[in-house]
Amino acid sequence: MLKQLGNGMAVSVGIFLLTLLFSLPLGLLVAFGRMSRNRIVSSLTKIYISIMRGTPLMLQLIVVYFAPYYVFGVSIGGYRFPAIIIAFSVNYAAYFAEIYRGGIESMPKGQYEAAEVLGYSRAQTFFRIILPQVIKTVLPSITNETITLVKDTSLSFVLAQAEMFTIAKQIAAKEASIGPLMVAGIFYYVFNFIVAFVMERFEKKLDYYR
């Protein structure tokens, strides 16, 4: 049982890490698109965010997995895990984009003007002056979404991906015992505790006033 649960834990952690790896930078790009002065880009990005936030992640997983077959007639054999990562990444990128946008738009306009006077380019102004402050501002919100992601990894069961919770349910049904589900619950709690601890350490390092 422990070996099976261990394999499930590895899958859940993999989904979590790969989703963060792709969704965090993608969210920043989406935020740029959302704030773009080009109305077409801004409108398309707004629609994308609205769809991702307004429909269930479970439905998005199903669409991402089956779309290549029904739209293009492409075989989806071996596509299950990549589909999960794609669906999770584009979903969470929409949430991260709005968090980034709120942080960026909260920055005083005077900082941009001061940087321009000092001879900074727009890219230098953003990455050297604005972005570090934005990260400090939005980190608590990102932490909340990251904790939610840990629990959402269990939704991959909809594509028959054998992650932690799915395996725990299978073992519990086979052995007629609630023990495996309790182990799964402890895993999610410990995982979230570690994530919260690490993010709290980042917050303290970014607290310039201490």
Q: Are 138 and 98 in contact (CB under 8 A)?
A: no
Cβ neighbour number for residue 91 with a 10 Å cutoff: 24
Domains of the chain, first to last: 2-205 (1.10.3720.10)
Q: How far is CA 187 from CA 144, 192, 195, in A?
A: 18, 8, 12
Q: Residue 9 corresponds to which amino acid?
A: M
The pLDDT score that the predictor gives to residue 84 is 92
E strands, the chain, are none
Cα 55 to chain centroid, rounded: 16
Residue with the two structure tokens 């394999």: 7
pLDDT per residue as tens, the chain (210 positions): 667 777 778 888 899 999 999 999 999 999 999 998 899 999 999 999 999 999 999 999 999 988 887 777 776 677 888 999 999 999 999 999 999 999 888 888 887 778 877 777 888 888 888 888 888 888 889 999 999 998 888 888 888 777 777 778 777 777 777 777 888 888 888 888 988 888 888 877 777 544
In the chain the first and final C-alpha atoms are separated, in Å, by 47
DSSP letter for 209, please: T
Q: What CA–CA distance (Å, rounded) separates 90 from 33?
A: 14
The pLDDT score that the predictor gives to residue 208 is 57
The pLDDT score that the predictor gives to residue 71 is 79
- Tokens, residue 42: 């801004």
